[in-house]
Structure 1
Amino acid sequence: MAITQYDTSLAQNVDGTVRRPSLRIDGGQTSRRPDSVSVESALSIAVEKSGTTYELGLTMRTPGEDEELVIGFLHSEGVIQSSDCLSSVQMGEDRVVVHLTDSAEFDPEALTRRTTMTSSCGICGKDSISNLLHIHGPELSESFIASHQNVSDSVSGLRTKQKTFDLTGGTHACGRAGPDGKITDVREDIGRHNAMDKLIGAALLAEEIPIDEEMVVVSGRASFELVQKALKAGFPAMVSVGAPSSLAVDMANEHGMTLVSFANQDRMTVFSGSNRISVD
């Protein structure tokens, strides 16, 4: 039975959220009221080069920062390396068309073959398992050093900036932090990979790629897709609140990235690159 009756309490004005009727049961008591949920909707992505438009398909995302999302995704796929590869970006309500310059390296057959995406799946369409660990990215900084306290500060700092999560409990977050643990930029999305793409896309548009003296902090687990995206952006260190996957650890070790997981105020586990973590 659909829930359609609820009270008229005002909704908080937070982008990427909508109000939906709900029946709340708490301590045996029921109440009907609207509740905030994160928006999930489809975004159509296309690339145009030399007069030909290539449809890359759909991704499910939380609307907002769509340009950053698509630019970050294309960077992680190796289509663009800098803003010099962009001629223009055409924005629609639920569609983004990226116009590439002639200098952009774009193999439409390869990219369209491996771009089946959902909000929870980053590169499910990759056509070769052997290509997953062996990627090309910028040289990672060996001078970056962070302490346990710095890592802890970055995690707590990220949490204070998750406004959509505070309201809905339904989004992931990625943030940039300096060696001192201070968060400088954050993006949220219903998909963890989208949040990372938005963060990296914003950095690329600001001409801050590669990122060489910062760590990227993620609010959930560390998957190999997130490690891959972080490596291509140049982050020497990645911090996750949750657990890493085996492929994430293997990829971080192969490329010399520092991977810290289960990070909080009291403890953390370093799975690779311990030379960049100092013990207080």
Structure 2
Amino acid sequence: MGRLIQRVKATRIDVAGHRRVVREEALAAEEPLEIRLGHEPFTVTMRTPGDDFDLVAGFLVSEGIVHDADELISLRFCAGEDENGQQTFNVVEAQLRPDVVLPDLAARRNVTTTSACGICGTASIDAVRKSSHHPIGSPVDQPLVKAEVLASLPEALREQQRLFEKTGGVHAAGLFAPDGELLSLREDVGRHNAVDKVVGAAFRERRLPLANSVLQVSGRASFELVQKAAMAGVPVLAAVSAPSSLAVELARESGLTLVGFSRGKTLNVYTHDGRIAD
């Protein structure tokens, strides 16, 4: 897995057996990624290396900067070297179509966003609510997914988490068809990064809006994850843990079906339950 995993020594303490053992542990890598729009720095985010172009594309979608694949002309790694003169692959430059409106300098994220928070550094909390160019259809038209299929997705996601299997330290986001078929999966130390990578991959393949799909995430459902799903036109977002109150509010406003505490046999539907068939 190359740069995805770093190996470190750790002292394992067996409390019951009163023993200490020094052994090597595999940890998920976390490195900064600088995103540039043209030659101008835009933001720095902490992420697990890999699928970086998908991450950048998905981030630009969730920020409302691009809406159509034609607006993103190219993505490339810029020169960046470590102390040993090796390419770090930690700077990505996005070339946008000339007519794409760039964020004001005052709104740019000139601070590092951590792997725990995807909207830290946003210039204003009012700027967090963004208008999607991929509006979600009416939830009462017809059910999209059966409850038993929805309940099975966390386990289906877990079975395909290769990096988590080796490290135990990453989140995952998976895009599923209504019949439970896994369409794509990404892992990252940041839950918001995992979602951006899934959305970005679909964006680059010209599959947005994701109107006939379910987004399953491994952690909780925060406001930012609901926002990212809504910006991509995802009608159903399901999480294995709890949503926040603001996440429920945004899901209700945007027409998104938000599911929490999906644990295999039970699940809580917080908004627009008409998409889920018993």
TM exceeds 0.5?
yes
Deviation at 1:205, TM superposition (A): 0.6
Matching residue within 47, 58, 77 for 1:72: 58
Deviation at 1:116, TM superposition (A): 4.6
2:178 is aligned with 1:192: no
| Bigger mean CA offset, 217-226 vs 177-186 | 177-186
Matching residue within 106, 119, 139 for 2:102: 106
Deviations, residues 175-214 of structure 1 (Å, cap 9, x unaligned): 0011112221100000011111111110011111111000
Deviation at 1:249, TM superposition (A): 0.3
Matching residue within 103, 125, 128 for 1:129: 125
2:171 alignment partner AA: H
Deviations, residues 196-239 of structure 1 (Å, cap 9, x unaligned): 11111100111111110001000000000000000000000100
Say if 1:172 and 1:219, in contact at 8 Å, map to a contact too.
yes
Deviation at 1:111, TM superposition (A): 4.1
Match of 1:33 in 2: 23
Match of 1:6 in 2: none
Q: Secondary structure at the match of 2:178?
A: coil
Deviation at 1:32, TM superposition (A): 1.6
Say if 1:114 and 1:123, in contact at 8 Å, map to a contact too.
no
Deviation at 1:139, TM superposition (A): 2.3
TM-score, normalization: structure 2? Answer: 0.89
Once the two structures are aligned, what percentage of the paired residues are identical? 39
Deviations, residues 7-47 of structure 1 (Å, cap 9, x unaligned): xxxxxx57611111111123423222101001011111100
- Matches of 2:219 and 2:130, distance apart in 1: 24
Deviation at 1:83, TM superposition (A): 1.7
User: Structure 2: any 5+ residue segments left out of the alignment?
Assistant: 79-88
Match of 1:20 in 2: 8
User: Structure 1: any 5+ residue segments left out of the alignment?
Assistant: 1-12
- Matches of 2:2 and 2:277, distance apart in 1: 38
- Matches of 1:154 and 1:14, distance apart in 2: 28
Change (3 A) 1:115 1:103: farther
Deviation at 1:132, TM superposition (A): 3.7
Match of 1:222 in 2: 221
Q: Secondary structure at the match of 2:57?
A: helix
| Bigger mean CA offset, 26-35 vs 239-248 | 26-35
2:65 is aligned with 1:46: no
Change (3 A) 1:246 1:198: same
Q: Secondary structure at the match of 1:272?
A: coil
Deviation at 1:86, TM superposition (A): 1.6
| Bigger mean CA offset, 122-131 vs 174-183 | 122-131
Match of 2:72 in 1: 86
Between the two proteins, the alignment pairs up a number of residues equal to: 263
- Matches of 1:70 and 1:134, distance apart in 2: 18
- Matches of 1:257 and 1:137, distance apart in 2: 14
- Cα RMSD after superposing both structures: 1.8
- Matches of 1:172 and 1:144, distance apart in 2: 28
Change (3 A) 1:44 1:133: closer
Q: Secondary structure at the match of 2:113?
A: coil
Say if 1:172 and 1:191, in contact at 8 Å, map to a contact too.
yes
- Matches of 1:109 and 1:144, distance apart in 2: 43
**Pairing of 1:125-274 with structure 2 (within 5 A):** 125-133=121-129, 135-141=131-137, 142=139, 143-274=142-273
Say if 2:11 and 2:22, in contact at 8 Å, map to a contact too.
yes
Deviations, residues 232-274 of structure 1 (Å, cap 9, x unaligned): 0000010000100011000000111100100021110000011
Match of 2:277 in 1: 278
Match of 1:58 in 2: 44
| Bigger mean CA offset, 223-232 vs 30-39 | 30-39
Say if 1:44 and 1:58, in contact at 8 Å, map to a contact too.
yes
Say if 2:30 and 2:189, in contact at 8 Å, map to a contact too.
yes
Say if 1:137 and 1:231, in contact at 8 Å, map to a contact too.
no
Say if 1:146 and 1:278, in contact at 8 Å, map to a contact too.
yes
Q: Secondary structure at the match of 2:210?
A: coil
Say if 2:43 and 2:110, in contact at 8 Å, map to a contact too.
no
Q: Secondary structure at the match of 1:139?
A: coil
